[in-house]
Structure 1
């Protein structure tokens, strides 16, 4: 089974934006040349996770028939090969529409998910997807209900400037804190992400949540590269 902590680019959540969600059923939107599809969400396990989190003091949103974008589609396709090859429970974390959950609350949320996973028999892969430093033009505007046409126009107009907003120094701080599992530094980096590394850097919340769900062990960087064509500081890190 796979747990994916992912953000949202104001597509699944526009008018009502929960800090944290648990998808009980979910599909993937057609995007970037990839077709739409359905995720194989184990609804009974997702329901139990939702109930566990509620009993632990997290007022999560139970999400049914939710349409998710590349924040979830890319890691599932790239790491697993196909959307439906493994059962997947998406856990949306608000990384796009302020006010955002604090770094401390994100760490607590991830740790509580980990406690639930410790009590089930399945072998679980935990993924955090998003970031590192980047500032997509469509997230720099405080407009929560953009059409696809307006989104594409804003991105095209701001792409040249966005290529200059990668912050390798901040990315290095995040990766160093992950490799040492320095949760105090990670919380600080999350809470200052937008100011230091752009609107998209808020997605590092998913890294913090995934690391906490994995038990707070060191997460070792495997590769890092600033990619101006993708306007993003890109990295992969793993823990066992």
Structure 2
């Protein structure tokens, strides 16, 4: 058994909003290095913890956690369409193990995943199908949210399962860090928006284009007085990265959901994917971690970070 971890921000605006040549070059370089490390590791299995952004999961049935035995990309924000290479029997075995660990998780035999899953998968492997991958979606944008201790326990359950496999496993967490794109809330939403949040699967190309245009326009003004959304919070991001790298995972049990939203933005809760990923790694034994990159990038509406860790 050999287990390694990569946690990184994703942003739908990469390649659409230009933060400047220097920033693009920095991110390209750190992603190229991360991809080279993944290729050298040559995983036999990837487990990716990812959020959804009202593309595959809606309020007609919004599970806190869902594991897929089969998954297809919706192809939003320049990400590729197509099926992921999900090992069905192994994913089902993992689902059973999680349930037997007293963690309730939904199961999907036909899950739609969006850029929150596929962007990172493509960036680190070059495609959606190069390696077997089990997607686990953690609700990170659709309140109400369960406590962070539940996310940590989910990760631990996944980690104890991975420890039984004689495989090279790459654990991915993707999302955050400080982050508030223009994602609508159900509470108080106009009827049209509420209907989309409840049952908006498979939108028309025109609807998807308009949705992406709104996000693009927000990225143009994010971080300026013209934008009312919560700005990026460098101090919060760096403190969280340090907490993960130092293995202080039990402290997430005290995370206050509303306080995080106020301090760093409502979509900062995508860090739930990082918490689960690190908890999975920690469940297999001690680890060493490093911060590979961090920079607040307003044009991408993201505190952009990359972190790596390796089981000792």
TM-score range, shorter chain: over 0.9
Matched, 1:235 2:301: no
Find 2:147's aligned residue among 102, 107, 116: 102
* Residue 226 in structure 1 maps to residue 296 in structure 2: yes
1:155 alignment counterpart: 215
Q: Of 39, 58, 66, which residue of structure 1 is paired with 2:111?
A: 66
CA deviation after TM superposition for structure 1 residue 186, in Å: 3.3
Aligned to 1:39: 84
Matched, 1:137 2:197: no
Q: Which has the higher contact order (CA 8 A, sep 6+)?
A: 2
Tell me the residue number matched to 2:280.
213
**Structure with larger Rg:** 2
Deviates more, 1:30-39 or 1:118-127: 30-39
Retained in 1: the 8 A contact 2:176–2:269? yes
Q: Quick check: 1:139–1:200 contact (8 Å CA) kept in 2?
A: no
Give the TM-score taking structure 2 as reference length: 0.72
Q: Displacement of 1:159 after TM fit?
A: 3.9
CA contact 2:219–2:298 (8 Å) conserved in 1? no
Instruction: Provide the rounded CA distance (Å) in 2 between the counterparts of 1:186 and 1:218.
Output: 19
Deviations along 1:12-33, whole A, 9 cap, x unmatched? 1112111111101001111222
The structural deviation recorded for 1:140 is: 5.4
Task: Check the 8 A contact 1:168/1:226 in 2, yes or no.
Answer: yes
- Within 1, Cα distance between the matches of 2:186 and 2:301? 17
Aligned-residue CA RMSD in angstroms?
Answer: 2.0
In the TM superposition, 1:2-41 aligns within 5 A as 2-14=46-58, 15-41=60-86
Structure 1 unpaired stretches of 5+: none
Instruction: Choose the corresponding residue for 2:246, options 177, 180, 183.
Output: 180
Q: Distance in 2 between matches of 1:9 and 1:34?
A: 14
1:86 to partner: Cα distance: 0.1
Distance in 1 separating the partners of 2:101 and 2:251: 25
Over 3 Å off, 4+ runs: 139-143, 156-164, 184-192, 216-219
Bigger mean CA offset, 192-201 vs 182-191:
182-191
- How far is 1:152 from its partner? 3.4
> So what's the TM-score if we normalise by structure 1?
0.92
Equivalent position of 2:173 in the other structure: 128
The alignment covers a number of residue pairs equal to: 240
